[in-house]
Amino acid sequence: HPMVFPSSRVHFPKTSRRLPQALIIGVRKCGTRALLEMLYLHPRIQKAGGEVHFFDRDENYLKGLEWYRKKMPHSFRGQITIEKSPSYFVSPEVPERVRAMNASIKLLLIVREPVTRAISDYTQLRSHAATAILPLAEQSASAGAGSGYGARMSSTPSTLYAKLQAAHSYDNALGSGAGAKETAMAGMGARRAAATTTTTPTPSAAQLAAKSFEELAIFPNGTVNEAYRPLSISMYHVHLHRWLEVFPREQLLVVNGDRLIEDPVSQLKRIEAFLGIEHRVRSEHFYFNETKGFYCLRYDNGDRCLRETKGRKHPHVDPVVVSRLRKFFAEYNQRFYELVGEDLGWPE
Ligand code: A3P
């Protein structure tokens, strides 16, 4: 009799799904995916497939720890399971919830120079907004089409407006200064309104999607729009403060995301030591891909680069705005250095 197992049930004996012993808590756009994939080169590391969003989304958290555990991969005893959901870092309720699960969990925080991170965030939000305002059938064609948003907008404005609103609220809005939850609710309201009334104004959709980083980050009077999400997420000390009220400093490792791009092995060495696993990820695991402009990874079963949404080309940003923002962040960066006890040397 041939033994037949349903394929989803096949796994090595002596493995089980375990709650994570380490978390990558953020920061969004700082290389969280790269970090997880690089750590996965290590035989002692197992990773959760997607972003689980257990601690930051009430609908998931209410399902309980067993639900969370079942989202984890099978692992051998002695392996470390890691999950990454970058929004953990900025969600106020998360540190306490993590502590309630495991007070000795290890936390990895990857950061980049804050203005670079903000521009990367803007680039991602803009690409989502651009996708959201195109009907699905047109999305693939649009890549080479090069036409403005306006022309497509005019066809079915209220649907497009609703989609754009949804995309904006999902990603915390290109221009809004509201907090995550308010923005999401405003988005839902707009969607409902767009669905039920034909008189929904469709004004700013095209302008919103087309707004430059400069316009969104700096008010016409020259002051910085501190409430703009890509900027407020880069105020690392504000968010980290909450974590350090709950966890001792030794339980958190700050990974330099700009260095991870240039020289992954040196950062990984620190992480291996922090996680208490032997040094196994080495330069043979990486090769620099000239076309991509980033390091790609060498696994036993083949080479792999991160997908094209990782390592995007950023739009040109007026250098005057960049240096204005760097000055603006100087004070915040100092506070972050003090919190972590390390100077990351970001330019002012
Ligand atoms: P950009 O696309 O703006 O360059 P996250 O996974 O947290 O969203 O972070 C995405 C960022 O990871 C990318 O931002 C990129 O700079 C960075 N990154 C670091 N190492 C990378 C690698 N080897 N390949 C691609 N992107 C990498």
* Interface confidence (ipTM) of the complex: 0.99
> What's the confidence (pLDDT) of residue 129?
85
Establish whether residue 28 lines the binding site of ligand 1, counting it when its CB lies within 6 angstroms of any ligand atom: yes
Judgement on whether residues 274 and 177 belong to the same structural domain of the protein: no
The span from the CA of 174 to the CA of 213, in Å, is: 9
DSSP 205: H
> What number is the average pLDDT over the span 55-81?
97
**212 lies in some domain:** yes
Whether residue 295 has pLDDT greater than 50? yes
130 in the same domain as 105: no
The pLDDT score that the predictor gives to residue 193 is 37
Which tops the pLDDT comparison, 86 or 193? 86
Are the beta carbons of 211 and 230 closer than 8 angstroms?
A: no
pTM score: 0.81
Does residue 39 form part of some domain?
Answer: yes
18 and 102 fall within a common domain: yes
Q: How many domains does the chain have?
A: 2
140 within domain boundaries: yes
Q: Are residues 131 and 219 both part of a single domain? A: yes
- List the structure tokens of 104: 């000795």
* From 14, 29, 84, 163, active-site residue: 29
Q: Is the CB of 247 under 6 A from ligand 1?
A: no
Do 56 and 145 lie in one domain? The reply is no
Q: Which of 306, 313, 314, 316 to mutate to test the pocket of ligand 1 (most atoms within 8 A of CB)?
A: 306
Q: Tell me: do 44 and 129 sit in the same domain.
A: no
CA 151/CA 157 separation, integer angstroms? 10
Q: Give the pLDDT band of residue 161 (cuts 50, 70, 90).
A: very low
Residue 78 has pLDDT above 70, yes or no: yes
Beta bridge partners, 255, equal 110
Closest by CA position to 312, among listed 117, 129, 139, 153? 117
CATH of residue 311:
3.40.50.300
What is the reported pLDDT for 176?
Answer: 41
Q: Is residue 134 part of a domain?
A: yes
pLDDT at 328: 98
Cα–Cα distance, 281 to 157 (Å, whole number): 51
Assess if residue 74 is contained within a domain. yes
Q: 313 is in which domain, residue-wise?
A: 13-111+248-317
Of 193, 228, 263, the one marking the end of a domain is 228
Average pLDDT, the chain: 82
The answer on 224 and 162 residing in a single domain is: yes
The answer on 74 and 31 residing in a single domain is yes
CA angle 53, 311, 226 (to 5 degrees): 65
